[in-house]
Chain A
């Protein structure tokens, strides 16, 4: 029914081509441009697009934009994958314990999650940054915390429905202990959901971490990512629009590709496992 993973309309093909291309360009950056992302050159200030040696121009400190844009590649990929994976792992742990143990433990854990859920995503992230201080790692921790209540809830409800299945009840009756049931039977069955939900969140996490950087609360100078580039370039939008518009476009394309690929995965697995509530 659904087309192959690598057909022309599949987001996976484009994800591999575009993100793979960006990562390769980053790996080969020394061949592409002689300038480092933080190399300040007073004689090369605000060069336009297509300048010799700096095809994507330079910023107000004479820093080469090709090099700066490429420096944002590993940051963005990490900013997507690390928080999505960490938050899903933590959410799985919380959801399994809460859903399987039940009772007072479940009530306490879920009350805390409900309270966290009362904060809009960015408010939770802002509070976390306020406590931890602004840095790239802390921005990743902040978005991990901000998405956690959602993940814990999803895994908990999966665990609750699995707990009542015959084979779980049977293994319980045959004397299996809680750890062996949770690890041997429930965890393998919630993993597909965790994988799918986690992968749909990669794109959101890229956008969210870049958002914190844009607000000056993520990556700190002299390090760069697309969020800081957009912030810096935004000041010159009237006479050097490419400084902000190119990182905007890169960020948009990469976020879209990860979101579409995650959504595609969700549809592919939904046929096998029933609809996954999002």
Chain B
């Protein structure tokens, strides 16, 4: 039996499997819907640093009659707050009469936070003392609380700078505004990423979900596809044909790989088209990485195939493996967020390396040299698993 006939038979089997897949309309729809759901859910639920929190109701209690919008501090305050809010749409400002009312409204859930300007605010300011502004937050929601704190801190910080600048100019009229600002705030912070733009959470999860979907297709699709044929009995039809057993395995793997890549391409299209994800690196490298991911998972898929006798077990095994893998490989959350023992486990999962490499290429525009470690790990894992899997598979087939 030549390599050519083995390949020829496996192509026939792969084509047959794909034909069956394309005839399954509902299955095709789910092929698109499943990754879409996953992107939407994860992307919208876990936004980057609260950037997606909008319209949080904030009440302002102004107990200071001097702080009425006509004085410089109050003008600065309102201008800065408005400026930030116009940019992000994060806050909705209302008025309240007292601190206790704000607390009450937060407890009712009608407010996310409040600002209290005490009655002596302007006075202490003009009498050469530090003024105090009270920020009230909703501690039951840490993320909202943290966001409000940071936003308002910036607002008051800017306000303080501006006032100091004006005061300085008042003390020494020869200073121009720029010099005054430099004296008050000697430096500016500028954050710069590797690539231009500000990647969203979708940029973070899209590579991970792609890597996961493609690899799961061989790791779980293969056992399910084979055990299903065993169960309905059609496997016997292939087994009594004079073909190499390897053709069956190869054909099934090819079909599952094709399915996985199609799904990966769909995710990519959705990510770019709907979620505004930009691909910085080479798109061919992206697909090459996905293929490498498939290769690294084939062996594991075959081992699982050999141990599952029916489709139900295969499905259950898939769920059991998929969930920890999904979370431990940093597909949805950065690995750095996890406790040390989980981080250790994740170092042994090939999906970690695949999604890391994919993320580097897609988000940071990395090339082959920058992902060489990941490539080596994936190739090594694939080779070792296939070396284990083939004898196991042969034994299963010739029971």
- Real complex partners, A and B? no
